[in-house]
Amino acid sequence: MTVAQEPTGLNFDCETGNYHTFCPISCVAWLYQKIEDSFFLVIGTKTCGYFLQNAMGVMIFAEPRYAMAELEEGDISAQLNDYEELKRLCLQIKRDRNPSVIVWIGTCTTEIIKMDLEGLAPKLEAEIGIPIVTARANGLDYAFTQGEDTVLAAMAHRCPSKVTSEAEKEERNAIQKLLTFGRKAEETAPTSEPKHPPLVLFGSLPDPVVTNLTLELKKQGVEVSGWLPAKRYTELPVIEEGYYVAGVNPFLSRTATTLMRRRKCKLIGAPFPIGPDGTRAWIEKICSVFGIEPQGLAEREAKIWESLEDYLQLIRGKSVFFMGDNLLEISLARFLIRCGMTVPEIGIPYMDKRYQAAELALLEKTCQEMGVSTPNIVEKPDNYNQLQRIKAIQPDLVITGMAHANPLEARGINTKWSVEFTFAQIHGFSNARDILELVTRPLRRNNSLKDLGWEKLVQEEATV
Amino acid sequence: MTVAQEPTGLNFDCETGNYHTFCPISCVAWLYQKIEDSFFLVIGTKTCGYFLQNAMGVMIFAEPRYAMAELEEGDISAQLNDYEELKRLCLQIKRDRNPSVIVWIGTCTTEIIKMDLEGLAPKLEAEIGIPIVTARANGLDYAFTQGEDTVLAAMAHRCPSKVTSEAEKEERNAIQKLLTFGRKAEETAPTSEPKHPPLVLFGSLPDPVVTNLTLELKKQGVEVSGWLPAKRYTELPVIEEGYYVAGVNPFLSRTATTLMRRRKCKLIGAPFPIGPDGTRAWIEKICSVFGIEPQGLAEREAKIWESLEDYLQLIRGKSVFFMGDNLLEISLARFLIRCGMTVPEIGIPYMDKRYQAAELALLEKTCQEMGVSTPNIVEKPDNYNQLQRIKAIQPDLVITGMAHANPLEARGINTKWSVEFTFAQIHGFSNARDILELVTRPLRRNNSLKDLGWEKLVQEEATV
Amino acid sequence: MQAKKSGRIQPTGGRDSMKLAYWMYAGPAHIGTLRIASSFKNVHAIMHAPLGDDYFNVMRSMLERERDFTPVTASVVDRNVLARGSQEKVVDNITRKDREESPDLIVLTPTCTSSILQEDLQNFVDRAQLDARGDVLLADVNHYRVNELQAGDRTLQQIVQFYLEKARKKGDLPTEKTAKPSVNIIGISTLGFHNQHDCTELKRLMSDLGIEVNEVIPEGASVHNLKNLPQAWFNLVPYRELGLMTAQYLEQEFGMPCVDITPMGVVETARCIRKIQQLLNAQGAGVDYEEYIDHQTRHVSQAAWFSRSIDCQNLTGKKAVVFGDNTHAAAMTKILAREMGIHVVLAGTYCKYDADWFKAQVSEYCDEVLISDDNGAIGDAIARLEPAAIFGTQMERHIGKRLNIPCGVIAAPIHIQNFPIGYRPFLGYEGTNQVADLVYNSFTLGMEDHLLEIFGGHDTKEVITKGMSADSDLNWTKEAQATLNQVPGFVRGKVKRNTEKFARERGLSEISLEVFYAAKEAVGA
Amino acid sequence: MQAKKSGRIQPTGGRDSMKLAYWMYAGPAHIGTLRIASSFKNVHAIMHAPLGDDYFNVMRSMLERERDFTPVTASVVDRNVLARGSQEKVVDNITRKDREESPDLIVLTPTCTSSILQEDLQNFVDRAQLDARGDVLLADVNHYRVNELQAGDRTLQQIVQFYLEKARKKGDLPTEKTAKPSVNIIGISTLGFHNQHDCTELKRLMSDLGIEVNEVIPEGASVHNLKNLPQAWFNLVPYRELGLMTAQYLEQEFGMPCVDITPMGVVETARCIRKIQQLLNAQGAGVDYEEYIDHQTRHVSQAAWFSRSIDCQNLTGKKAVVFGDNTHAAAMTKILAREMGIHVVLAGTYCKYDADWFKAQVSEYCDEVLISDDNGAIGDAIARLEPAAIFGTQMERHIGKRLNIPCGVIAAPIHIQNFPIGYRPFLGYEGTNQVADLVYNSFTLGMEDHLLEIFGGHDTKEVITKGMSADSDLNWTKEAQATLNQVPGFVRGKVKRNTEKFARERGLSEISLEVFYAAKEAVGA
């Protein structure tokens, strides 16, 4: 494998504190949208259901393609037969929605009561005739975005290893189809075999971003054979032994491991394609693995930086504190340091130093090049302690979960919700502006309030 | 002509007082909807425009198929050329909306400044190639619903007197088409010549009511050749000398006169088809003119009355006072007396005793048969005096314009807006329920409040 | 006692089976407990729960735009804690928070998840109490048997009882009533539906009546003052869902009378005031509020006049569906039916545990009662009944959006829109005004949409016939279909159904124009 | 002088030409006069006009749900009256009404229509005054030169001047100021946009500031009390459209200072209070309102906190269009731009007669200023600018409905929705709360609709591609079109336009995926 060595110049800490992130079952909120023929069934308690309904802001979408299998006292106390109960619900889902796949999302509760989802699924799948994928997106083992990791790791098992019919091949290769559609016949007719071993990318991104990153690689002569996940479950990419795989998100270490160990793929360890620096590094790394000399990337990156100048002026020299939430922290910090910011602390729920090795190395390099001190990386931070540090440091911006934003603002600390970076389109060259649009919004807003002399409006309200 | 003699047993009065009705230009609010390919241009002042916008409750429909030609000081003072100004606006309308006809609605202002709309229209019509119909729907000569009368009288001139092509005949006979559509070919193939001279009905009614009345007559073997107005200007009915015509609304005396005098039609003077009694009388009168013996009408009427019993129980023996607004007063009073109500006074803006002769005769007959005293009919009533009379009489219900309803309610007097009868579907057998639904609504509502002991809630508020 | 690591809790006789749920009307029990704990001043809650279960803090911060940090800390249960047992961590977190912020009281609660572990949490609390300077209490609720509302009711009662018994033991319990008539307002809490504004309005009302507010609990209350509760002349419990257990406890222990009539709507507000008058006079106050009621009804509140006005007359007999919690659904049903002459075709509540009360309250004011927390059942009922307006929760608002039926929101589950910045009480006389606006706007904005639909198509020469699904076993002739299409959209469905019913009853397989009109005459279709 | 039966009035130099009008932002002049007359207590207006011109009574009765009969009587002009001359009828009607209801004052006004007759109405009034016990006055406005707003301003000034001069002649004019600081609130009138609630809020504000309200005019005022106006320490004119002429007259004649800063929004309310402080202290009062302002801003009003909260942060830089009367459009522009960080792309007013003031007020807070009373021009501007929200009149609300852009209504023309029963002031500190709600709900409900649009199509296995008119001179490749279709609906139009602009500038006739992304990078499309 091509994973880089662990960097050494960074300071890692693990507070194992009481910290807040969203529950990993959150991932259904974006995965059910991404995989259009799916249905997600979260098997848990009222606590799980109420979370999805309220905190994720999805309460307005009545009957989306996900639901709760709400465990009642009878289920918990094992008086009822799990198989029969789940069968009843899945048949109902089949009748009402007829999805191509049902994804069972296990929760803390299914862990604690040791419900054997992995054992039940194959049997039920065979009986009702709909694929059932199980993922243990529980809060005992995972934080927030890692829910996606558990689902993708489970789906990695379901990617076909060989395609028999041409028709299916056609379907599986939907991206290629999209990109060549409308071209003249002679351009595409001799389906040119790619000049490198097949490459599959993993990580759930909105469709426009998928197309964009695919195109960026295509420009360099790199063909993407497929994405995990695809727009539809029936279009999951073919994965054969020896295929190369690369991740686009920093929280997919389990998926990476599964692809390497179980599907015998070769992982390309690169920084993540977030920010123009990260995107360039990601493309370069992929090209280098395939022995391709990338063309015009430096100019491309420079041009993007140039177009960001109006935003950069707002943040240069300012400090940003990551409380830690969605595991995008390292990549975002690296990009913002490159933008000229300083980062005293990066809180992060979980730090896989191997999977994130290339990203950590780039972070270190970026700090050196920008001449700023390296951030303190705090795994499983203690939010109370962090608030004390924020009070002491008075950073210009705190990127934080939703629970702390309003109280920090009330104390005169600029904040940005970390969760917005989870939902916004932040990958690739074109989306760098969108990251900075988010990052600068509180600064721009509070600048305009400051001009008014309203700064002390709430600052004296209370002390942290 | 077949108009009946003026009745003698009724008491008529003319107060020539200060009374309130809506301006006759109101008619554009329903006529532009009825005639789907029309555009109505009201030529008047800000006062006219603001009325249409506010009082008619049509302010929510931005850019309907009517507009104001707003006369500015330059127009009033005759500094500007009326022809050129109107041409400019009509060309703009042609460009933006391309209607089949533009109807110029004259107002008090065009009367006072003696703008020669009738002289300008033919010239402009020839120049821009769109028919222009002019109607003097002004408040100096007319009240509220009479605006429709002025428009229909003007349109009566535009009904073709002879149709040349078969295609046009087909188009002009859209109603017949609708009614036979879907029937087997043999039923309609030999276009059976009606067994009576052609009959054209006049009065603007919603399409379902048009169909309904047409069907009612068809059941008796009476074919309706056309309606004035039709759904489209291009479908105005053919009118030849000697055709029979019958009105469906009591405020169309000018249209009736035009059809008789200018188009040499024969007017069938009948009560109006409002309420089961009026509808039956209307059909009977038409049948009698054509020498047809109506079938099953008495049973039909009886059945309708039976179906109204739940409403009748609410109003029997109660009194209703008409302040006078939309000229539907005589017909409604006649129906409500037949329902068992008493009517101390019928205010009415204008009373054409010849055109309404049959209706007045039926009113008188109805009073006799129901054993109640005949109402006092007050033309051009004085609203202030009426309020004194209402205070003295304390009727169970007052049917009144919008300006007086809330203050009367605040004094414990039940009211119903007269304007609702203008807009509701009240004609024919089937719609009798709808009239009673409206009439009984305040009684039902205030009954339920009365049960609560809230009657004195606002009654002591002030005295009339 | 250590956590039973092997899962499943002991059978307890529960027979409910796994449920497919898209939507919940009430939250899980721990949300109720946390609402109570964080409503008090200087009370902290420790939530013994896995990562992600602590979203209560997000709800409070985001929905209420709360400026302060929510005083709830999650003592995170992860794989390690599971393996080692959680006692040490929980006790550490309690004593740590006691040191850090010196709360008067720390309330410990598990969530649905951690309650399965069946740990002896009382023992944790007892252990922590040894070191803590403040009080420590375990919220006593069954997380699988009760929901947010019941748990909140119970937790409030538990805390009140705790401090009253504590004061009694210390001989620190004031026994005399206040000199002037006074009231405890019980049940105002954080994340409650319009609670803040209701509380302001109730205080104004009490002030108008010359009644001192002794305590408001739990919102903004200090646990130190709970011992003063018995000094009030009576308790007012405006919401049926929160406070009744406390009031019952206070009645049993201290003989305090309770007014549990929700002062929502003109009639019920008057009834509430009259009940207060009766209780005060029974204690020798000699008050007469009739003149006040009359003045408010006729001159201050505009709601009674609205009921009589022409605007409201036009709503007479219109059909409405009401759904919500017991308090708001019952009050709204009464207002619509009794004060506005609106025809409530269905009144429903998701408070299944208190269904008898609801039925008794609304039965005479509506055609049908629905007791259910299955949003699908409510959606189906609304689709079937096709009311002109709905008064329900955010869920019904979205059902209404789909069916193109306007909906006024009258009850929790709460949403940021239920924390308006402007003054919007539902209770008291200003509440009657706000409710009248809600009713009027719901109906008229719905009507406006329909009018736009009707007239929208008339802009051009081309008249586009609005489509309608021909989804029917009966054959409509073209002319009948055309006539049906002329019926305004908002009643078309009803007309269609009634006509088809009429045809079916007569064994007709085709609906001609004649059948259409015959149906209209026969059944008023 | 008899009516000139032959029509056309004398040339007066007007050069306006006939106008095609679908919508009017301000009513005709007589509406303004009638609003003033019927606001006063016991004043009656006689409208000399044809049948149908008297719909003012309908508006007042229906929109304000007024319980009393509107004190306006039409002296009907019909064909007979035209022929005979109207003097006798008008005089009869004035003296009749004087007998019937004994009003303190009868105001005579023609309408646009009857004013063309160029009768000597002053003579009619003089004749009527001979018999009438009350006062009789002819409203002095030019019905073709001024609109409702200007006419109202003028009529109020005319009545005030009439009674002050009358009192002066009688030696009946109190000259001393009140003992405590006091204010006249000028410009509250019937059919005014949220005037009733604004007035309540202003009275509360004055009470908080320790300022007595000397008179509120014209709403609810008696003409007998007008002579007391000069006793106040200053005049407050909250709305620029109504009251300034009166205040100027009082300043000229009696040296009364005037505060004409509309207290709408946190900043302007503070500025208004500081101006009051300055005027009072100049008269020796010695007040200091800074602490009050600070307390209200930080603790009572929630608007300043809303501005700082995360909810409002998410509105930062969003585009808005503002349109309305001078008062509300200017105040709203300042609130959005200055207090909430919202990007006002266009601020406009229909008060063309007072355009300079508006430009001076808003220029620094918006990209573009539009002075127009042509609703088509405003509609076109909104369609072009595609803001995320509109703050305008009912007209803009309907433009927004068509374009699927949410609109908060902030200004007249009035509509029944602007006469809410619940308390909804726009002015003062509670007004800041109400405005914050309006802003927040406009943006978020718009967002909700878009989210529903985006997610609505994902319910089933079949993914329906949302159509979009291919109305363009450029050729979009299928893949670029597909990608464009993935852009959320509410920005899709903008992205499409920017991409095409980018392509045109580069002479490209086809938009491929590559061009699409290049455009995004280049112009942030």
Q: Which tokens sit at D70?
A: 């509107």
D467 burial (CB, 10 Å; 0-12 / 13-18 / 19+) is: exposed
What's the pLDDT at D22?
Answer: 81
Omega prior to A206 cis, within 30 of 0:
no
Strand partners, C73: C46
From C305, C309, C420, residue closest to D437, measured CB to CB: C420
- From B294, B314, B342, the end of a domain falls on B294
Query: Which H or E run contains B313?
Result: helix B309-315
What is the overall mean pLDDT for chain A? 88
For chain D, which residues score pLDDT lower than 70? Answer: 1-16, 445-473, 488-491, 493, 523-525
> Residue B33 — pLDDT band, cuts 50, 70, 90?
confident
What's the pLDDT at C133?
Answer: 97
What's the pLDDT at B260?
Answer: 97
Phi, psi of C42 (to 5 degrees): 55, 40
For residue C270, give the nearest of C353, C329, C224, C209 by alpha carbon. Answer: C209
Tell me: pLDDT of A61 over 60: no
Tell me: pLDDT of C49 over 60: yes
Strands (E), A75-182: 101-106, 132-136
Phi, psi of D77 (to 5 degrees): -95, 115
pLDDT in tens, A75-93: 777 767 889 999 999 999 9
Strands (E), A114-268: 132-136, 199-202, 226-228, 244-247, 266-267
Structural domain for B253, as ranges: 174-179+192-294
- Cβ atoms C378, C396 nearer than 8 A: yes
pLDDT in tens, B128-148: 999 999 999 999 999 999 999
Q: Which tokens sit at B196?
A: 């009576």
Number of domains comprising chain B: 3
Q: Is residue A7 a part of any domain in this protein?
A: no
Q: Are residues A425 and A437 in the same domain?
A: yes
Give me the helices (H) in A164-296, please.
166-172, 174-180, 185-188, 207-219, 253-261, 275-289
CA separation for the pair C152, A214 (Å, rounded): 52
Flag if D437 and C452 touch (Cβ within 8 Å). no
Flag if B211 and C460 touch (Cβ within 8 Å). no
Tell me: pLDDT of B4 over 70: no
CA separation for the pair D196, D87 (Å, rounded): 37
CA separation for the pair D13, B339 (Å, rounded): 61
Q: Are residues A254 and A389 in the same domain?
A: no
ipTM of the complex: 0.89
What's the pLDDT at A47?
Answer: 93
What is the overall mean pLDDT for chain C? 88
CA C318 to chain centre: 24
Torsion of CA B313, B316, B318, B320, to 10 degrees: 100
Q: Are residues B247 and B374 in the same domain?
A: no
Flag if C306 and D65 touch (Cβ within 8 Å). yes
Torsion of CA A229, A235, A241, A246, to 10 degrees: -30
Report which of residues D389 and C18 the model is more confident about.
D389
Closest residue in D to B65 (Cα) is D22
C447 marked as binding residue: yes
Residues in chain B, overall count: 464
Mean pLDDT computed over B109-130: 95
Closest residue in B to D90 (Cα) is B18
Q: Are residues B129 and B203 in the same domain?
A: no
For D29, the 3-state DSSP assignment is helix
D443 sits in the region (left: phi over 0; alpha: psi -120 to 50; else beta) called alpha
CB atoms under 10 Å from CB of B6, counted, come to: 13
From D18, D76, D144, residue closest to B89, measured CB to CB: D18
Q: Is residue A147 a part of any domain in this protein?
A: no
Closest residue in D to A93 (Cα) is D460
Catalytic sites of C, residue numbers: 311
CA separation for the pair B153, B259 (Å, rounded): 8
CA distance D451 to chain A (A): 9
Percent of chain C with pLDDT over 70: 90
Cβ-Cβ contacts under 8 Å for C252 (sequence gap 6 or more): none
Closest residue in A to C3 (Cα) is A112
Percent of chain A with pLDDT over 70: 86
Cβ-Cβ contacts under 8 Å for C98 (sequence gap 6 or more): C106, C128, C131, C132, C133, C134, C136
Fill in the amino acid letter for B200: V
**B461 DSSP 8-state letter:** T
Residues of D in contact with B55 (CB under 8 A): 55, 58-59
CATH classification of the domain holding A118: 3.40.50.1980
pLDDT in tens, A356-401: 999 999 999 999 999 999 999 999 999 999 999 999 999 999 999 9
Tell me: pLDDT of B455 over 70: no
pLDDT in tens, B71-83: 888 777 776 788 9
Chains B and A touch, using 3 or more CB pairs below 8 Å: no
Tell me: pLDDT of A178 over 70: no
Q: Are residues A208 and A61 in the same domain?
A: no
Torsion of CA B405, B408, B412, B415, to 10 degrees: -30
A67 touches chain C (CB under 8 A): yes
Q: Are residues A280 and A329 in the same domain?
A: no
Burial pattern C264-300, b for ≥16 Cβ within 10 A else e, equals bbbbbbbbbbebbbebbeeeeeebebeebbeebbbee
For B218, the 3-state DSSP assignment is helix
Q: Are residues A291 and A384 in the same domain?
A: no
Residues of C in contact with D306 (CB under 8 A): 65, 421
Q: Is residue B399 a part of any domain in this protein?
A: yes
Cα angle B328-B334-B338, degrees, rounded to a multiple of 5: 145
What's the pLDDT at C470?
Answer: 34
C492 touches chain B (CB under 8 A): no
Query: Which H or E run contains C182?
Result: strand C182-188
What's the pLDDT at A396?
Answer: 96
What's the pLDDT at D5?
Answer: 43
Lowest mean pLDDT among A344-348, B17-21, B93-97, D280-284: B93-97
What's the pLDDT at D449?
Answer: 61
Q: Are residues A264 and A304 in the same domain?
A: no
Q: Are residues B289 and B302 in the same domain?
A: no
Mean pLDDT computed over B172-190: 48
Tell me: pLDDT of A132 over 60: yes
B430 sits in the region (left: phi over 0; alpha: psi -120 to 50; else beta) called alpha
> Residue A179 — pLDDT band, cuts 50, 70, 90?
low
pLDDT in tens, D484-520: 777 765 567 677 777 888 888 888 888 888 888 888 7
Percent of chain C with pLDDT over 90: 66
Mean pLDDT computed over A134-156: 96
Q: Tally C-beta pairs within 8 A across C and D.
A: 63
CA separation for the pair B214, B177 (Å, rounded): 12
D302 burial (CB, 10 Å; 0-12 / 13-18 / 19+) is: buried
Query: Which H or E run contains C136?
Result: strand C135-138
D460 touches chain A (CB under 8 A): yes
> Residue C502 — pLDDT band, cuts 50, 70, 90?
confident
Give me the helices (H) in D209-348, please.
244-254, 266-282, 290-295, 303-308, 310-313, 326-334
For residue C242, give the nearest of C331, C152, C332 by alpha carbon. Answer: C152
Tell the residue number behind the tokens 């529960």, with chain if given. Answer: C14
- Cβ atoms C343, C320 nearer than 8 A: yes
Q: Is residue A3 a part of any domain in this protein?
A: no
Which residues of D carry a binding-site annotation for substrate? Answer: 446-447
Closest residue in A to C76 (Cα) is A18
Q: Is residue B161 a part of any domain in this protein?
A: no
Q: Are residues A335 and A454 in the same domain?
A: yes
Tell me: pLDDT of C127 over 50: yes
What's the pLDDT at A176?
Answer: 54
Q: Is residue B198 a part of any domain in this protein?
A: yes
CA separation for the pair B77, B85 (Å, rounded): 14
Q: Tally C-beta pairs within 8 A across A and D.
A: 106
CB atoms under 10 Å from CB of C469, counted, come to: 7
What's the pLDDT at B173?
Answer: 60
Flag if B179 and C513 touch (Cβ within 8 Å). yes
Which residues of D carry a binding-site annotation? Answer: 53, 446-447
CA separation for the pair B351, B343 (Å, rounded): 17
pLDDT in tens, C257-298: 999 999 999 999 999 999 999 999 999 999 999 999 999 988
Strand partners, C349: C324, C371
From C308, C460, C482, residue closest to B410, measured CB to CB: C308
Ranked by mean pLDDT, the top range of B107-116, B280-289, B452-461 is B280-289
Rounded alpha-carbon distances, angstroms, from residue A391 to A21, A396, A404, A412: 21, 11, 13, 10
Helices D244-254, D148-169: crossing angle, 10 deg rounding: 30
Q: Are residues B202 and B230 in the same domain?
A: yes
What's the pLDDT at B61?
Answer: 54
What's the pLDDT at C472?
Answer: 53
Chains touching chain B, criterion 3+ CB pairs below 8 Å? C, D
Query: Which H or E run contains D370?
Result: strand D369-371
What's the pLDDT at B452?
Answer: 62
- Cβ atoms D76, C316 nearer than 8 A: no
Residues of C in contact with D423 (CB under 8 A): 423, 430, 433
What's the pLDDT at C495?
Answer: 79
Q: Is residue A166 a part of any domain in this protein?
A: no
Task: List the 403-442 stretch of B: residues with Cβ below 8 A of D.
Answer: 403-407, 410
- From B225, B259, B294, the end of a domain falls on B294
Tell me: pLDDT of B311 over 60: yes
What's the pLDDT at D460?
Answer: 32
- Cβ atoms D497, D464 nearer than 8 A: no
From D65, D74, D394, residue closest to B406, measured CB to CB: D65
CA distance D29 to chain B (A): 8
Tell me: pLDDT of B463 over 60: no
> Residue B181 — pLDDT band, cuts 50, 70, 90?
very low
What's the pLDDT at B464?
Answer: 36
What's the pLDDT at A444?
Answer: 87
Residues of D in contact with C416 (CB under 8 A): 311, 444
- Cβ atoms D25, D373 nearer than 8 A: yes
Fill in the amino acid letter for A384: Y
Q: Are residues B288 and B224 in the same domain?
A: yes
CB atoms under 10 Å from CB of A258, counted, come to: 21
Cβ-Cβ contacts under 8 Å for A138 (sequence gap 6 or more): A24, A25, A106, A107, A108, A110, A111, C50
Tell me: pLDDT of B190 over 90: no
Q: Is residue B131 a part of any domain in this protein?
A: yes
> Residue A346 — pLDDT band, cuts 50, 70, 90?
very high
pLDDT in tens, A235-281: 999 999 999 999 999 999 999 999 999 999 999 999 999 999 999 99
C65 touches chain D (CB under 8 A): yes
D75 touches chain B (CB under 8 A): yes
What's the pLDDT at D314?
Answer: 84
For B409, the 3-state DSSP assignment is helix
C309 touches chain B (CB under 8 A): yes
B163 touches chain D (CB under 8 A): no
Closest residue in D to A455 (Cα) is D308
C426 burial (CB, 10 Å; 0-12 / 13-18 / 19+) is: buried
Strands (E), A272-414: 320-322, 345-348, 376-379, 397-400
The domains of chain D, with CATH numbers, are: 29-146 (3.40.50.1980), 169-300 (3.40.50.1980), 304-452 (3.40.50.1980), 475-523 (1.10.8.550)
